[in-house]
Amino acid sequence: MTAGPTMMNSAGEGGLRSRQLRHAVALLAVVMAAGTGGYMLIEGWGAWDAFYMTVISVSTAGYREVHDLSWAGQAFTATLLIFGVGSALYAFTLVAAGIIESRLHPRIQQKRRARMIDQLTDHFILCGAGRIGLIIADEFRRQDVPFVVIDHDPVAVQEVIRRGDLAVEADASREDVLGKLRIDTARGLIAALGTDAENVYTILTARGLRPDLLVIARADSDDARRKMLRAGASRVVSPYQIGAVRLAQTALRPAVVDFVELATSSESLELAMEQVRIGTGSALAGRTIVEANVRQRFGVIVVAIQREGGHMDFNPPHDAVMRAGDELVVLGRPGQLRDLEVAAE
């Protein structure tokens, strides 16, 4: 569950309030100008006397008239009171509401985010709002995956909130903080903080709270990678190593890289590669690929089967048995993959 709609609605309400205030101030200025000009034209007063009479009329101050009014001046004053007082009250009400809202709005938004975090389930806790963290957040948002970001940098946290996502400013290695982020119901945790030491501490804390949690960490060196694995990380990724390998593969096998990018991109509408878990009660469990008629029924290609113990069978034969708990790595169109996911539940 992300905070996109909430933040966008708040921004829209703020813009509407600002436009209303501008219109009210403009209307009040027109009334003041019309009142001043009217007294000058009807009564022949000077500019200051006409302006002063307009002010005390619109503000309902109740002072005596600057000069005796003619019948036409009295009629004009009555008209000015009807339109001017209404315009002034409208403008003053919007100004007062804006002042109150400017003081209460941050607290209201903070409470709203806290309520949304309390409702999170099957979500990711993304630790780190740096360049890597923001890219991960963008990918989660595109795939409609619920997540919450945590970082100790207030500027980075505000940037995440500005984008419309849930974020908190805190220390990701503290047990009470991870508890408030609903680590007990989380789908996984990603440690993408600025330093390897911070990520190691975060992994240790998360693993202590949830021994079964999927924990993915970012490492800047091989030594840090080994330490994170010992600390309890399920997977450790080095952005520098992946980037270097990707550059080399692009130079040597550009067609292969293009295919993998097409199959793994969340924006691809033609082809996608996905993993599908075989559920215990699924009709696919205990059947071979050919018996389940996976290729003809769903129009997908089974690229590999990751067994429950972690072993990976690449390009499995047609007589390979799909067991409950196995993960199928399949290639197909998004709609076909969704049909297979339903059948595998």
**DSSP structure string for 164-222:** T--EEES-TT-HHHHHHTTGGG-SEEEE--SSHHHHHHHHHHHHHH-TT-EEEEE-SSH
Nearest C-alpha neighbor of 135 from the set 114, 159, 109, 116: 159
Please give the single-letter amino acid code of residue 92. Answer: F
pLDDT of residue 196: 93
**Domains, the chain, ranges and CATH?**
4-118 (1.10.287.70), 124-243 (3.40.50.720), 269-344 (3.30.70.1450)
pLDDT band at residue 10 under the 50/70/90 scheme: very low
For residue 9, pLDDT over 60 is answered with: no
Element spanning 236, H or E: strand 235-237
Report which residue type is found at 111.
K
pLDDT in tens, 189-199: 999 998 999 99
Tens digits of per-residue pLDDT, 57-103?
Answer: 877 776 677 777 888 888 888 888 877 777 777 777 777 776 666 55
Residue 202's closest CA among 185, 219, 186, 190? 190
Of 17-26, 63-72, 98-107, 283-292, where does mean pLDDT reach its minimum?
98-107
Asked if 204 and 187 count as a contact pair (C-beta separation under 8 A), the reply is no
pLDDT digits (tens, 9 = 90+) for 160-213: 988 889 999 999 999 999 999 999 999 999 999 989 999 999 999 999 999 999
Q: Is the pLDDT of residue 34 over 70?
A: yes
Phi, psi of 53 (to 5 degrees): -65, -40
Please, what's the largest Cα pairwise distance for the chain?
106
